[in-house]
Homo-oligomer: A and B are copies of this chain.
Amino acid sequence: MLRNYPQNFVDLYDLNNVMFEPYTLKDIAKALGLSTSTVSRALRDTHEISAETKRIVLEYAQKINYHPNPIALSLKERRSRSIGVSLSEVANHYYAQVINGIESIAYDRGYHVIITQTHESYDREKVNIDHLASRSVDGLLISLSAETSDTSHLHHLHQRGLPMVFFDRVAAKINTHKVTANNEKGAFEATEHLIKQGCKRIAHLTSPDHLSISIERLNGYRQALEKYNLPLEETYIKYCPQGGKSRLETENAIRELMNLSEKPDGIFVASDRLSIGCLIAFKKLKISVPEDIEITGFCNSDVLDLIEPTLTSVSQPAFEMGQLATAMLIDLIESKYPVYDFEKKILDTSLYIRNA
């Protein structure tokens, strides 16, 4: 006698038959009259399986296009062969290039890449990273959000042994591998270029002061001023707490600078988004380059050659940074012994001089 199934039971059952159900070891074993262990060993080419059995199994596996279930493997091996990435925004050519670098290495070494965006929010960063960690990523590649000054959420994971490598915006307090551009030198060269162009009052527009990149780029700016005996004016340094996330933030900073009694005649901008935001603000406020002010800035945009006004830019080796960070992370993940000796790799930037 038939049990009284809910009305939709049959449909559900049918659906499950149609649904995407890959073949398993058990299927092969059943079809060939072998045990799953034998099939598993045959496929892994163990020495204790006869050549004949191996041939039969391999042939059949090929025929039905068998692939081991990666989820089951992950559970068994307690690793997911995936790495998590946390960065502020993919809609930024610098980070897009970094991602390409990350992928190129991860792909070759058999890892998946899961990208998450913080949109410069600390809370979002925390949620994303917890999510990644609980999703059993084998390691993390991190560039901090603009809002992040407290890194204890990362510290905790790191303490528990989750491998992580920082790039770009690194955490001072966490002792692990780090990859950055030579921010000091890049900032120095950018500022020096303004000085050589004849600027005397050079402003500096930058990200929040707690970020590693802000500190380092400020240092380079300061050193250039010192070298050429120009005074460091605190009023010329403008921080954007949101890293220029909103256009208004950048615009207001520019407005304040240009309202000073002694207007700056040059400005060194410390990040991609701020550089673009600055140019947009100039356009809106009808500030002309280089007549009213000269500008240099960190920027990896691919259309800088088309942009008016022209921007002399400091470009970071983004692709290589992604590659290097990923290689270091995978080395950490695959290391058989705990690693205590961490290094910080610093890659040179390039100054692209564009004259108006």
Contacts and interface: CB of A to CB of B under 8 A. Distances in A.
Given A75-B71, A100-B117, A306-B307, A162 B336 contact: no
Contacts of A134: 22, 67, 69-70
Nearest to A337: B11
A90 interface: yes
A72 interface: yes
A109 interface: no
Contacts of A290: none
Nearest to A17: B160
Q: Give the copy number.
A: 2
Nearest to A279: B306
Interface residues of A, number: 57
Contacts of A46: none
Given A308-B308, A337-B15, A114 B112 contact: yes
A97 B103 contact: no
B75 A103 contact: no
Interface stretch (A182-190, A209-217, A297-305, A323-331): A297-305
A154 to B, nearest CB: 13
A71 B136 contact: yes
Nearest to A110: B131
B80 A90 contact: no
Contact of A12 (B14, B103, B131, B336): B336
Interface in A21-68: 21-22, 67
Nearest to A138: B20
Interface string A81-92: 000000001111
Interface in A334-349: 336-338
A114 B117 contact: no
Contact of A161 (B18, B70, B90, B306): B18
Contacts of A67: 134
A261 interface: no
Interface of A: 8, 11-12, 14-15, 17-22, 67, 69-72, 74-75, 80, 89-93, 96-97, 99-100, 103, 112-115, 117, 131, 133-136, 157, 160-162, 276, 279-280, 283, 301-303, 305-308, 336-338
